[in-house]
Amino acid sequence: MARKRRGQPISGWLALDKPHGLTSTQALGKARRLMDAAKAGHGGTLDPLATGILPIAFGDATKTVSFAMDSQKTYHFDVIWGAATTTDDLEGEVTETSDVRPTPECINSELARFIGQVEQIPPQYSAIKVNGQRAYDLARDNQKVDLKPRTVRIDRFEYIDSDLGPDQATFEVDCGKGTYIRALVRDLAISLGTFGHIAALRRVRCGPFDEKMAISLDKLEALGHKAAGSGVLLPVETVLDDIPALALTEEEARRMSHGQSVSLFAVANRTPISGLTPGAAVQAVCGDRLIALATVADGLVKPVRVLNS
């Protein structure tokens, strides 16, 4: 006999303000329990040391998680100069030290080198898989692994004069998917002739989610059983604002909800679709209902992720 799934079939996004000390998985579990949700996932991992925006998807929103993970993110962080650590943050053991403390002028002169497409080697303590094992598990067993460089995108790298003294500095970065801020700090410090690691890290934006719409676990808990109906949930479509929407008829919506494709020509008669390239992602909607995430190809609108809206 199949085991009955616990929780309510709620759908939508929650902009959780993750506290210091919790893994993203732990924060997800707490939010899911407080919302009494049957299904949940998160849109972008934060280290336990980090705080800030952790988008939580419930129900149908879990089918749109990739759009949150692929979106631009903004981080605000403090750096300590003069010491490298095993984890590239405050929690690791010091491995190398330097007496060099970069001046604001030197820092600003180097930042341009880290804008655009940047080659970056992930930290030894990272979630990258090596032969089926997480790099951080291997690192804890004192196994040094050869992690390959990856190309990441840095859109903005700004030094903020925060009066922390010569040993520290504050920065803000806009970046793309897969960027390790710890690695960025490590590499910047080396380019400045010293070492460095992160002292504090906060994600202030993840795609459409920012601090203005965020809620803490404490506030979520204070709402109690009213949490799911309190208005904290954002629509499933929140992460899809940049994706074109194609209007379906009721009959087309019925067919697509069963996984069938519909004629692009028929849809084009009622929805402007100029500029769509083959394979482009679209929203298939009927009235105010999101029916599916789909692609346009071969004269058809083909469902990729059918939603139960």
Q: Where are the domains of the chain?
A: 12-71+208-238, 73-206, 243-306
Q: State the pLDDT confidence band at 15, using cuts at 50, 70 and 90.
A: very high
Name the most confidently modeled range: 141-150, 193-202, 235-244.
193-202
Q: How many CA atoms lie within 13 A of 218 on its CB side?
A: 2
Average pLDDT for 49-71: 92
Question: Is the per-residue pLDDT at 98 higher than 80?
Answer: yes
Question: For 12-71+208-238, which CATH class?
Answer: alpha beta
Q: How far is CA 179 from CA 52, 77, 133, in A?
A: 16, 14, 20
Q: Across all residues in the chain, what is the average pLDDT?
A: 89
Residue 5 amino acid letter? R
12-71+208-238 and 243-306: identical CATH topology: no
Distance (Å, whole) CA 9 – CA 160: 44
- The tokens for 97 are 């030290």
Confidence (pTM)? 0.89
Question: Is the per-residue pLDDT at 95 higher than 90?
Answer: yes
CATH number of 73-206: 3.30.2350.10
Q: Which of 17, 47, 88, 187 is catalytic?
A: 47
CATH architecture for residues 243-306: Roll (2.30)
Count the Cβ atoms, other than its own, within 10 Å of residue 272: 9
Question: Is the per-residue pLDDT at 161 higher than 90?
Answer: no
Active site annotation includes 47: yes
Q: What percent of the chain is modeled with pLDDT above 90?
A: 61
Question: Is the per-residue pLDDT at 214 higher than 90?
Answer: yes
The SS3 assignment for 155 reads: strand
